[in-house]
Structure 1
Amino acid sequence: MNPQSKLEELLKLEVENEIVEFKEAKTQFDKDKLGKYFSALTNEANLKGRDSAWLILGVKDTRKIVGTKITDKQLNEYKQEISKHTSPKCNFLQDHRISTSNGEVILLELPAASKGYPVSWKGHWYGRDGESLVALHDFEYERIKRQLDTEDWSADIVSSATLDDLSPEAIAFARIQFKEKHPRLKDEIDRWSDSVFLDKAKLTIKGKITNTAILLLGKSESEHLISPAVARITWILKDRDNVEKDYEHFYCPFVTAVEKVSAKIRNLKYRYIAGNTLFPEEVDQYDPYIIREALNNCIAHQDYTMGGKIVVVESEDGWLSFTNVGKFIPNSVEEVVIQDSPEPTYRNSFLVTAMVNLNMIDTIGSGIKKMFNIQRHKFFPLPDYDLSDERVKAVFFGKLIDVNYAKKLAELPELSLEEIMLLDKVAKQKSLSSEAIQILRSKRLIEGRRPNYHISSDIAKATNQEDDYIKLRGIENAYIQKIIIDYLSKFGGTLRKDLEVLLMPKLSEGLSDIQKRDKIKNQLQELKRKKVIYVEGKEWRLVKSQ
């Protein structure tokens, strides 16, 4: 593209439209307004079926060039803001400075929003009504979101690919897996040609190679055939300080890569005392089912149109994470676990079907719940899911973080998995919804005030954690006042900082230092109001009648 020619073409427009915006921006452009226009123009480009949109700085909306003095430094700051506050994260495709007789013009090319993913700015979606900047209409938002429902990247034909681009070893392994999944066809399968088998297993379509076939059975050098998508799994080993110690990349065919990645994970034995027995229990840090299920989930649900890779991180500190790019389609992980049913739609329906046929996953929707129950029955912390930044990151813990809490809590027969999931959040000091708080409070499972909730005394007693409960709950206000009175009675005038040194270790560990100081301040003021103590200079003293 010739920038000068493009500018001339845009200047010939009679009026601005939904994908072109002119701004004077003589010396600067408000960053928040820039972000709103970025969201609007990218969304409109998607809706109009265009590859990009245009924002031109240094030109009035009358098409008169006035020039801009925005510097490269300012432009870089704008780019940083756009990357920071857009979701999914994106930025300008290109920027061009064009010199004219009336000053410089900056030509900014913006990408169209990806199919299925409207672009937001600071959590809000914007669009255009003609030349006007407006909130993206609900029907337009839904129209972009539904694009994924009608298109399946995994079923797309790779026109330049042939059977020679697939691995013979992977095809042979796939036949074995297909037989295990469909034992009644065992004898018949051996008579099928590779072409017939691949069609039957839903890897190809009428003999034509699909993206799914390349992912699952392609030779490692065939990855370029699905570019810009990436068929890659990266395993990383980190030490206790989160410093990378080792790594390795794995490529297609994914049908055999899963076992290779699993073999890299150092699944050490973990020993601990289970229940009231005197004999230690020895288990794998990570159940083999969890490793296989989590990795296959990444393969099945990765959004390959985003060009990211699957990342497996193993930490010597006792945790394992699996990350794939793409939004989590169900409403929440909790909903998946509680409902325990398959999703009605999948991002990669063709790929999911093929993986089912090759015995890699199933479609009964119980995989995530089974992983939660495996952790629960080992008394390990439940899995953590991070669904931010258009990705899914699942973290599994391979050790007990709090022996009494994790183990005894899981053994309480009256608690459901849903309640244990909520209490697991309390143990990890994660935020809770108002509904979750109400559930836990109604069953007297937690105490405290937002955001400093802690396990209730009933649970503390059941889990032999009375000491921890007292530490979290802290001492009563009346007792704080008694300590202050006793101290002043014995030592006379005292600075507040000395009282803080005395009292802060006795207050709830669920409070921050600022909250503890505020609590002490409030109790001093309460005693002053009651005329039990008073301030002389900077010292607190006891009223003589006391």
Structure 2
Amino acid sequence: MTIQELEKLLQEPERENLEFKNKSSFSDDELFDYCAALANEGGGYLIFGIDNKSRTVVGTKLFQRTLQGYPGRILNVIDVRVKVEELPHPKGRVVIFQIPSRPKGRPIQSRGKYTYPMRAGESLTEMDQETLRVIFIEVDDDFSSKIVPSFLFNDIDESALKRLRELLQLRNHSYSQKTDKDILRALELMDDDGLNYGALILLGKKERIDQLLPSAEIIFEWRQEPNKISHDFRKEWRAPFLGIFDNVWKVISDRNIRIPIQEGLIQREVLAFNEQAIREAILNAITHRDYTIVSQSVFIKADPSNLLVVSPGGFLPGITPENVLDRQAWRNRRIAEVFQKVGLVERSGQGMDQIFESTIRDGKGLPDLSGSDSSQVSLEIPARVKDKNFILFLEKIGHEKQTFFSFGEIYQLELLREKRTLSDLKFKEKFLELGVVEKVGRTSGVKYILSHRYYQHEERPGLYTRIRGLSREHKKELILEHIRREGSGKKKDFKDAFPDLKTSDISNLLQELKNDEKIERIGSDRAGYWQVKDVSN
């Protein structure tokens, strides 16, 4: 924000999304509450260093040493990506928090004095149940199906329309007999009221997109080094998507890297940027982005290690990074249906599955959605092979046992590879039968690890030993050794010795030693202790 822009805000009448503060102290909980309240009001500014009554700059000493850390702290607490800046005004230091609007269907929750704060004059109050109910039942309209009154048939790009025909005729030759308008009606891009935003985004001439929906833009940046600040190459597309989609992939593919994978005498190659995964990620961004956010475009940022696709608008209500593979929802259903009908996607809702599956089968690990929040979806697709031995091992097992691993199965195995152990594992019966995983422990202490054969294949048997841990008999021997050395032992001693074990598991080990007549209990459960049993009598 510039000084001129601030001065303009100072002249505006007070409203629900503009708050000025002149305070010498302001707690973190107050800050979280105000940011959440402003987000719940549709977004706005929280500005420190301004006298609210006179609307003059008085300066502030708040957040002087900690300002840069607040965007991350606010994001962690209320899941809102806030922009923070310091403005050196001639009359004093001004601190500006710019808060985006909450997503449809989801009120922003805080952790301060209020659970769901909202504005009440110059102060805050708890959001009432009726307001909450109205928010929770909000439904995202299909933006892509809305009619654009000033967008006419003559505004359609001929080359994009030709590409649409080609894609349709590959799947159904009968489209060759249809007129252009018949095709648009069949795809529900046009009706008696006119053409909709789906038609504009997919087929509109560049100059009409510039005028009617300039946010329908894709920006690509390439960096030779992952942590480099400035880009080495940049290209922007604001044109009909069906006319540029192949070119977007070509620009990315021109920077592709071939990664050799050697297995014995056989060598094959994996591409850093898998075409299917990248195309799916771009289609996903075009389908799900929020086009009402007019100040942001779809960004694709790539370097030799990753490709990042960031699209405006957070996940729809009920969708999270954790359940994105199990739940489907569409912000722009009309566009999603067109992509399916022309064959750019096999079936709506499966794109994310295919992205995850391709990265796992290439040995690159899992895509990362952790950069997503209420204002954007951030999908980072790994480009480097992390563990070629893992995928080669699964291929070897599949060949030997004449079996195929489904996406759900390799996804579970990849989670196990990354986390090393899992207490709950889907498809465990099949994995145990194939010798892909092993079960360690008993009853409530059971965990699953990748098998010894995998770590032999990876030539890291020592890692297997560490992950598997001590055997049950070895743990009992250590307990017995402790009691002999110390003269006695309490349960808390063994909890210190085995911090990863549950209290019930330790009790079971002690009970087994007692049943073997090696130790005995002296005193009550709470105050008593264990000692070596005297078997001389």
1:192-229 Cα distance to aligned partner (Å, 9 max, x none) = 1x444323322234363332222211223333334463
1:288 equivalenced with 2:275 (yes/no): yes
Q: Give the conservation status (yes or no) of the 8 Å contact 1:118–1:125.
A: no
Question: What secondary structure does 1:386 align onto?
Answer: coil
Q: Give the conservation status (yes or no) of the 8 Å contact 1:235–1:312.
A: yes
Deviation at 1:40, TM superposition (A): 2.0
Equivalent in 314, 321, 341 of residue 302 of structure 2: 314
Distance 1:433 1:219, change over 3 A: farther
Percent identity reads 21
For 1:194-233, what aligned pairs fall within 5 Å after superposition? 194-206=180-192, 208-227=194-213, 229-233=215-219
Equivalent in 299, 312, 319 of residue 286 of structure 2: 299
For 1:479-494, what aligned pairs fall within 5 Å after superposition? none
1:56-98 Cα distance to aligned partner (Å, 9 max, x none) = 99889xxxx59998515649999867754154324699x9x9x
Question: What secondary structure does 1:407 align onto?
Answer: helix
Equivalent in 216, 220, 230 of residue 234 of structure 1: 220
Q: Which amino acid aligns with 1:401?
A: K
1:368 equivalenced with 2:356 (yes/no): no
Deviation at 1:259, TM superposition (A): 0.5
The residue aligned with 2:169 is 179
1-structure distance, mates of 2:193, 2:453:
61
Question: What secondary structure does 2:168 align onto?
Answer: helix
Question: What secondary structure does 1:304 align onto?
Answer: coil
2-structure distance, mates of 1:328, 1:399:
27
1:218-255 Cα distance to aligned partner (Å, 9 max, x none) = 22333333446342232424336656432222222111
Higher mean alpha-carbon deviation, 415-424 vs 202-211, is at: 415-424
Uncovered stretches (5+) of structure 2, i.e. residues with no partner: 1-6, 442-446, 475-537
1:118 equivalenced with 2:112 (yes/no): no
Q: Give the conservation status (yes or no) of the 8 Å contact 1:456–1:469.
A: no
Deviation at 1:326, TM superposition (A): 2.6
Q: Give the conservation status (yes or no) of the 8 Å contact 1:31–1:78.
A: no
Q: Give the conservation status (yes or no) of the 8 Å contact 2:48–2:60.
A: no
Deviation at 1:260, TM superposition (A): 0.4
Higher mean alpha-carbon deviation, 362-371 vs 298-307, is at: 362-371
Higher mean alpha-carbon deviation, 306-315 vs 405-414, is at: 405-414
1:107-130 Cα distance to aligned partner (Å, 9 max, x none) = 999775454453455798523496
Q: Give the conservation status (yes or no) of the 8 Å contact 1:199–1:206.
A: no
Distance 1:284 1:379, change over 3 A: same
Equivalent in 65, 80, 97 of residue 88 of structure 1: 80
Question: What secondary structure does 1:224 align onto?
Answer: helix
Deviation at 1:348, TM superposition (A): 0.9
Equivalent in 253, 257, 268 of residue 244 of structure 2: 257
1:336-386 Cα distance to aligned partner (Å, 9 max, x none) = 54x5xx83x411112222333333224353333334444444455344443
The residue aligned with 2:235 is 248
User: How many residues are aligned here?
Assistant: 441
Q: Give the conservation status (yes or no) of the 8 Å contact 1:165–1:219.
A: yes
Deviation at 1:32, TM superposition (A): 3.0
The residue aligned with 2:498 is none
Q: Give the conservation status (yes or no) of the 8 Å contact 1:160–1:225.
A: no
Q: Give the conservation status (yes or no) of the 8 Å contact 2:49–2:60.
A: no
Q: TM-score, normalised by structure 2?
A: 0.64
The residue aligned with 1:465 is 459
Q: Which amino acid aligns with 1:280?
A: Q
Uncovered stretches (5+) of structure 1, i.e. residues with no partner: 11-17, 100-104, 479-546
The residue aligned with 1:359 is 343
The residue aligned with 1:505 is none
1-structure distance, mates of 2:309, 2:63:
36
For 1:401-412, what aligned pairs fall within 5 Å after superposition? 401-409=386-394, 411-412=396-397
The residue aligned with 2:265 is 278
Q: Give the conservation status (yes or no) of the 8 Å contact 1:454–1:472.
A: no
Deviation at 1:42, TM superposition (A): 3.9
Deviation at 1:140, TM superposition (A): 3.9
Deviation at 1:303, TM superposition (A): 1.9
Measured on the aligned residues, the alpha-carbon RMSD in Å equals 5.0
Q: Which amino acid aligns with 2:36?
A: S
Distance 1:138 1:245, change over 3 A: farther
Equivalent in 31, 35, 41 of residue 34 of structure 1: 31
2-structure distance, mates of 1:331, 1:273:
39
Q: Which amino acid aligns with 1:406?
A: I
Equivalent in 419, 424, 434 of residue 414 of structure 2: 424
1-structure distance, mates of 2:104, 2:207:
28
Question: What secondary structure does 1:321 align onto?
Answer: strand
For 1:313-332, what aligned pairs fall within 5 Å after superposition? 313-317=301-305, 319-329=306-316, 331-332=319-320
Distance 1:68 1:184, change over 3 A: closer
Question: What secondary structure does 1:222 align onto?
Answer: helix
The residue aligned with 1:71 is 59
Distance 1:461 1:185, change over 3 A: same
2-structure distance, mates of 1:111, 1:56:
17
Distance 1:372 1:388, change over 3 A: closer
Q: Give the conservation status (yes or no) of the 8 Å contact 1:68–1:106.
A: no
Distance 1:202 1:67, change over 3 A: closer
1:286-330 Cα distance to aligned partner (Å, 9 max, x none) = 44322322221111111222342223333334x433332332346
Distance 1:108 1:42, change over 3 A: same
Q: Give the conservation status (yes or no) of the 8 Å contact 1:379–1:410.
A: no
Q: Which amino acid aligns with 2:299?
A: V
1:112-165 Cα distance to aligned partner (Å, 9 max, x none) = 545445345579852349677455457644533543x24222223333333343
2-structure distance, mates of 1:77, 1:465:
49
1-structure distance, mates of 2:319, 2:199:
30
Q: Give the conservation status (yes or no) of the 8 Å contact 1:457–1:469.
A: no
Distance 1:271 1:6, change over 3 A: closer
2-structure distance, mates of 1:409, 1:118:
44
